[in-house]
Amino acid sequence: MKSYKVVEFGQPLQKVEESNPAPQGAEVLVKVTAAGVCHSDVHLWEGFFDMGGGNKVSTQKTMNPPRTMGHEIVGEVVALGPDVKGAKVGDKAVVYPWIGCGTCWYCTNGREHLCPAPRALGVNKDGGYADHVLVPDAKYLYPYGDIPTDLACLYACSGITAFSAVKKTVGEDGGKPILVIGAGGVGLMGVKFAQSVLGRAPIVADIDEGKRKLALDNGAIAAIDPRDKDARKKVFELTDGTGVGAAIDFVGADSTAQFGVKALARGGRLVVVGLFGGTFSLPMPMFAFTGCQIVGSVTGSPGEMKEMMDLVTAGKVTPVPIVTRKLDEADATLQELRKGLIMGRAVLVP
C-alpha cells in the first residue's frame, strides 16, 4: 500500500510503500476511494495546538509519528478479519474515524468521540492519506447511498462536526437565523446543516471576501465582515434588533469568539468548534447579566453520524464545493489549506 505520513512535524509528508495490513479479529481492510483534507490536519502536521499566551500543546504523544493522517475516509471493503459481523467484501461506506477504547463510560454510553483513550483514524492510528486503511470494526462503516464518493468522505469530519454543532443550537435559536462564523470547509457545512436541521438559512461572518461570496452562493441570507465597525449592528438589523439566539464559531480565535458573544441575544448560546487557537475572556458578571451560554463542540457521536447520514442519503442536504486532488499531491494540498488558498473542501483521490 502507498501512504503519505507525518515523519517529522512541520516537514513535508513522506511517501511510504509497504505491504497491505492483514485484518485480524473484527478488523476490516478498506480500499480508500477518497479522503478529505481537513483543517485540523494542519495543526496535527504542525505538531501543536496554540493555547494562547505563548502556550502550545504538543501532539507528539497523540500522533506518535510516523503517522498517516486523514480522518475523512470513504472506501470499499476488500478484506475481513475472521470475526467480522455486518460487512462483506465489496461494501462501500464512509468510515467513522472517532473511535474510542470501547469500554469506558463514554464509549458505552454513546459518546465514543469523547473517549479519553481514543484510537481515532488519522490521529492516533493510521488514516486515509493512503490507498488502504485498517478499520477496527465493521460498526464504524456507514453506507452513503448515491452520494458522490468525493463528497461522501467529507461527512466523516466536517460533516459530523458541523451537524453536531448545529444540533446544539436546536431550541436555542429563538426562531431566528443563527450566526455562522467562518466560511471555510466546515463552516460551509454549517451553512448547509442550518438550512436542513433548523429550516432556515444562517447569517455568515468571514473576513475573506471570496468566502463571503461563496457562503452567499451556498444559501446564507447575508455575509458580513466581522471587522466592519457596523458588523454587530448588521447582525442585529437582521434579527429584529435583538441579536442571534445562537452562534457557531468555526474559527476558534479570540476575535471570532468575542464577535460571537457580542452578536448574541439575551440567553443566547455560542458554540465553539474551531481550533485556530488563542485565549478568550469575558467578565464574569456578563454570564449572569445576559444569561449567555458558551458550549464546546468536538466532532460528533456515532448516533449523530447515523442521524446525519440518514439525512444526507435522503437528499435533504445540498453539497458543498469540492476541490479534488491526487493522493500524490497530499503535501501540496495540505500547504495550500494552511495558507488559506482552498475554497470549499479539498479531497484526495488515490
Tens of pLDDT, residues 234-277: 999 999 999 999 999 999 999 999 999 999 999 999 999 999 98
Mean pLDDT of 200-225: 97
Mean pLDDT of 45-56: 91
The top-level CATH class assigned to 2-157+300-349 is: alpha beta
CA dist 117 and 122 (Å) reads 15
CA dist 282 and 249 (Å) reads 16
Name the segment(s) of the chain with CATH classification 3.40.50.720: 161-296
Q: Is the pLDDT of residue 72 over 90?
A: yes
Name the segment(s) of the chain with CATH classification 3.90.180.10: 2-157+300-349
Helix, strand, coil percent content, the chain, rounded in steps of 5: 30, 25, 40
CA dist 286 and 64 (Å) reads 42
Mean pLDDT of 195-206: 97
Categorize the per-residue pLDDT at 177 as very low, low, confident or very high, splitting at 50, 70 and 90: very high
For 278-319, the pLDDT digits (tens) are 999 999 999 999 999 999 999 999 999 999 999 999 999 999
The CATH architecture assigned to 161-296 reads: 3-Layer(aba) Sandwich (3.40)
CA dist 271 and 194 (Å) reads 13
CA dist 134 and 128 (Å) reads 9
Q: Is the pLDDT of residue 54 over 90?
A: no
CA dist 54 and 305 (Å) reads 36
Q: Is the pLDDT of residue 53 over 90?
A: no
For 118-160, the pLDDT digits (tens) are 999 999 999 999 999 999 999 999 999 999 999 999 999 999 9
Burial class (CB in 10 A: 0-12, 13-18, 19+), 62: middle
Query: What cell was used for 247?
Result: 452562534
Mean pLDDT of 212-225: 97
pLDDT at position 52 is 85
**Residue type at 98?**
W
pLDDT at position 134 is 98
Share of the chain above pLDDT 70, in %: 100
The whole model's pTM is what?
Answer: 0.94
pLDDT mean across residues, the chain = 96
